[in-house]
Amino acid sequence: MQDTALYQYLLGLKSPWTVSRVQLNVTGQCVDVWAEHPEDAVWACPHCTKTLPLYDHAEARTWRHLDSCQFQTHLHARIPRVACGEHGVVQVTVPWAEPRSRFTRLFERLAIDVLGQCTVTGATKILRLSWDEAWGIMARAVTRGRQRKAPKVVHRIGVDEKAAAKGHKYLTLVCDLDEGTVEHIAEDRTQESLDGYYAGLTQAQLDGIEAVAMDMWEPYIQATRARVPAAAEKIVFDRFHIMGHVGKAVDTVRKQEHRALMASGDETLKGSKYLWLYSRENVPAQRREEFNTLRRQELKVGRAWAIKEALRCLWHYVYPASGWKFWKRWYFWATHSRLEPIRKAAETVRRHIGNILTYYQHPVTNAMSEGLNSQIQKIKSMACGFRNIEHFKTAIYFHCGGLDRYPC
pLDDT band at 1 (very low <50, low <70, confident <90, very high): low
Q: Give yes or no for a contact between 125 and 389, defined as CB atoms under 8 angstroms apart.
A: no
pLDDT score of 162: 85
pLDDT band at 167 (very low <50, low <70, confident <90, very high): low
* Omega before residue 320 within 30° of 0, cis: no
pLDDT tens, position by position, 178-227 = 999 999 999 999 999 999 999 999 999 999 999 999 999 999 999 999 99
Q: Whole-model pTM above 0.85?
A: yes
pLDDT tens, position by position, 112-147 = 999 999 888 899 999 999 999 999 999 999 999 999
Query: Is the pLDDT higher at 240 or at 375?
Result: 240
Q: Is the pLDDT of residue 383 over 80?
A: no
Q: Give yes or no for a contact between 262 and 239, defined as CB atoms under 8 angstroms apart.
A: no
pLDDT score of 382: 67
pLDDT score of 378: 81
C-alpha 383/C-alpha 378 separation (Å) is 9
Q: Which residues on neighbouring strands pair with residue 61, listed in sequence order?
A: 77
What HEC string does the chain produce?
A: CCHHHHHHHHHCCCCCCEEEEEEEECCCCEEEEEEECCCCCEEECCCCCCEEECCEEEEEEEEEEEEECCEEEEEEEEEEEEEECCCEEEECCCCCCCCCCCECHHHHHHHHHHHCCCCHHHHHHHHCCCHHHHHHHHHHHHHHHHHHCCCCCCCEEEEEEEEEECCCEEEEEEEECCCCEEEEEEECCCHHHHHHHHHCCCHHHHHCCCEEEECCCHHHHHHHHHHCCCHHHHEEECHHHHHHHHHHHHHHHHHHHHHHHHHCCCCCCCCCHHHHHCCHHHCCHHHHHHHHHHHCCCCHHHHHHHHHHHHHHHHHCCCHHHHHHHHHHHHHHHHCCCCHHHHHHHHHHHHCHHHHHHHHCCCCCCHHHHHHHHHHHHHHHHCCCCCCHHHHHHHHHHHHCCCCCCCC
pLDDT tens, position by position, 232-273 = 999 999 999 999 999 999 999 999 999 999 999 999 999 999
pLDDT band at 94 (very low <50, low <70, confident <90, very high): very high
User: Residue 41: CB partners within 8 Å, gap ≥ 6?
Assistant: 16, 54, 80
pLDDT score of 120: 87
Query: Is the pLDDT higher at 296 or at 167?
Result: 296
pLDDT tens, position by position, 23-81 = 999 999 999 999 999 999 999 999 999 999 999 999 999 999 999 999 999 999 999 99
C-alpha 295/C-alpha 301 separation (Å) is 9
pLDDT band at 168 (very low <50, low <70, confident <90, very high): low
**Mean pLDDT within 348-352:** 96
pLDDT tens, position by position, 119-128 = 888 999 999 9
Q: Give yes or no for a contact between 331 and 348, defined as CB atoms under 8 angstroms apart.
A: no
